[in-house]
Amino acid sequence: MTDGPLIVQSDKTLLLEIDHEDSEACRHAIAPFAELERAPEHVHTYRITPLALWNASAAGHDAEQVVDVLLRYSRYPVPHALLIDVAETMSRYGRLQLLAHPTHGLVLHAIDQAVLEEVLRSRKVAPLVGARIDTLSVAVHPSERGNLKQVLLRLGWPADDLAGYVDGEAHPIALREEGWELRTYQREAAEGFWHGGSGVVVLPCGAGKTIVGAAAMAMAQATTLILVTNTVAARQWRDELLKRTTLTEDEIGEYSGARKEIRPVTIATYQVMTTKRNGVYAHLDLFDSRDWGLIMYDEVHLLPAPIFRFTADIQSRRRLGLTATLVREDGREGDVFSLIGPKRYDAPWRDIEAQGWIAPADCVEVRVTLPDGDRLAYATAEPEERYRLAATTPHKSRVVEALVRLHADDHVLVIGQYLDQLHDLGDRLNAPVITGEMPVKERQRLYDSFRSGETRVLVVSKVANFSIDLPEAGVAIQVSGTFGSRQEEAQRLGRVLRPKEDGRTARFYAIVSRDTVDADFAAHRQRFLAEQGYAYRIVDADDVLAGTWE
């Protein structure tokens, strides 16, 4: 027995004692292969999952390193069966390989014949493969490359795709480096992706994922299709590429609800790509409109199902996913792994903070108590109505007003889910309200006003969750959210993480109704940030209103 911070249990759960002096080092060491499940005050619960282990394998970690971490930090002897299971699970990745064959085209090759025999007996694999070539290889229909990888992952035998990629149509792209240079982690991320061929880069909000994308484009030197969350994000990408690369305005097209331009670099929105006309996705043929050399997916954790399906057909193209968190509330992380690619680079948020590239953050959960009348209405409401009642209680508005007064010298974002609540807050704060109903041009005008300092407080709906660059924002106040969405919580904190010129700490407030599903969802929402090393202080709303909590 040692005095380590970790308790490793035979059911693959890991208990991390947060108050231990080595907890931060241990959290960092287990992050590549374990996923956080619960994060109360003193002991965090992680779980070792097959997908996390396969992502670790793809990123270059081996079973010996994982076992060493568990043995080094564990307080008690590690169950021997768990160590064996870790080694065997990690060894499954790469026992099957997709290769380019000189005469048979695409083939599925096995390092272990028994594994090939096992998967070929699956009824789901049979339609995706062709003739048997030899004892270790079988031909694969090229159009089924993505579907086969999905099926093999679900069978527990993830294939290592080594079949290579078409170069696509060449197009000269270079980085401008006058007045700036790639940060070390941005270069490592781009190189990690390029050497892997396809995959996902995970970086904190504000750490320059667009720059990593630009660096990948300069490596590819090819026509590029970029998929983004919305039109505002598309125009931010365009502006950043014009600033950071040798691309000109004529070389960059926007494919959105407003414009349909197809150029050597085309930036399209997920929304227009998934728009149906007469029951058919009318714009998915954009994938085939040019001989793309690179396809990039911004905020890949939001990838809609139709684009997943089409991505299964374009496995011969290099694909780069960019995100701040691979968490998907729909559980489709496996589809990201098999269709976009494994995680190629992952920089912990606090590491980037320590280097000074994102601001330190103080996270505070402010708990309000529902008054008796609201509490009774909540208790007797239908289950689907309870969250709305708890999340939109008028008591939260008084807390928001107090916090805005407290930060009178800062730029403040008030963020929520329910439009009636947001419009009420806009009236109380005499602040503009940005929602999805607002025209893009007006949204951009208000964002510019906020950046310039003309507007100090913005009330925003979830349209501001993603890909909005507001470096001046120093305070975010969250009043309601998309139920228990962990990735939304991370994105909302990310709105205030741009480093501040005076080095001040960013503030992130979550206002939560205690003893309701609002509090349950808040605990779930906070899990990803807890995994990154952020802790929420809990304060009472009455203390905030009285000004006695700081």
DSSP 223-279: -EEEEESSHHHHHHHHHHHHHHBS--GGGEEEESSS-B---SEEEEEHHHHT-EETT
Task: Measure the CA–CA gap between 22 and 3, rounded to whole angstroms.
Answer: 10
CA dist 461 and 463 (Å) reads 5
Task: At 287, list the tokens.
Answer: 């994938």
pTM of the model: 0.84
Question: Tokens in use for 103?
Answer: 């005469």
Q: Do domains 184-352 and 359-546 have the same CATH topology?
A: yes
The predicted structure's pLDDT at residue 3: 87
User: And the tokens for 52?
Assistant: 């996390």
pLDDT number for residue 138: 95
Assign domain 184-352 to its CATH architecture: 3-Layer(aba) Sandwich (3.40)
Residue 378 φ then ψ, to 5°: -65, -45
CA 104 to CA 535: how far, in whole Å? 55
Contact 69, 8 (CB under 8 A): no
Quick check: 383 and 239 in contact, CB under 8 A?
A: no
CA distance 12 to 195: 32
User: If you classify domain 96-161 with CATH, what class do you get?
Assistant: alpha beta
* pLDDT of amino acid 278: 80
* Centroid of chain to Cα 427: 33
Look at phi and psi of residue 156 and say left if phi exceeds 0, alpha if psi is from -120 to 50, else beta.
left
Count of alpha carbons within 13 angstroms of residue 187, beta-carbon side: 6
| Residue 105 β-bridge partners | 101
| Integer CA distances (angstroms), 140 to 7, 154, 158, 550, in order | 44, 18, 15, 63
Is 544 in contact with 404 (CB distance < 8 Å)? Answer: no
33 CB-contact burial (10 Å; exposed 0-12 / middle 13-18 / buried 19+): buried
What is the C-alpha to C-alpha distance for residues 305 and 276, in angstroms, rounded to an integer? 13
CB 214 within 8 Å of CB 244: yes
- Residue 550's CB is within 10 A of a number of other CB atoms, namely 8
Strand partners, 508: 363, 476
Query: Which CATH number does the domain 359-546 belong to among 3.40.50.300, 3.40.50.1450, 3.30.70.60, 3.20.20.150?
Result: 3.40.50.300
pLDDT attached to residue 284: 82
Domain-wise residue ranges, the chain: 6-92, 96-161, 184-352, 359-546
- pLDDT, tens digit (0-9, with 9 covering 90-100), for 149-203: 999 999 999 999 999 999 999 999 999 978 788 999 999 999 999 998 899 998 8
pLDDT (tens, 9 = 90+) of the chain, 550 residues, equals: 568 999 999 999 999 998 899 988 998 899 889 987 776 768 888 999 999 999 999 888 999 999 999 999 999 999 999 999 999 999 999 999 999 998 888 999 999 999 999 999 999 999 999 999 999 999 999 899 999 999 999 999 999 999 999 999 999 999 997 878 899 999 999 999 999 889 999 888 888 899 999 999 999 999 999 999 888 889 999 999 999 999 999 999 999 888 899 999 999 999 888 888 888 887 888 888 899 999 999 988 888 888 888 888 889 999 999 988 877 777 788 899 999 999 898 887 878 888 888 888 888 999 999 988 888 999 998 988 998 999 999 999 999 999 999 999 899 999 998 999 999 999 999 999 998 888 888 888 998 898 888 999 999 988 776 656 777 788 999 998 876 677 788 888 888 888 777 778 889 999 999 999 889 888 888 877 877 778 888 999 988 888 887 7
Query: b or e along 125-148 (b: 16 or more beta carbons within 10 Å of the residue's beta carbon)?
Result: beebbbeeeeebbbbbeeebbbbb
Distance CA 283, CA 269 (A): 11
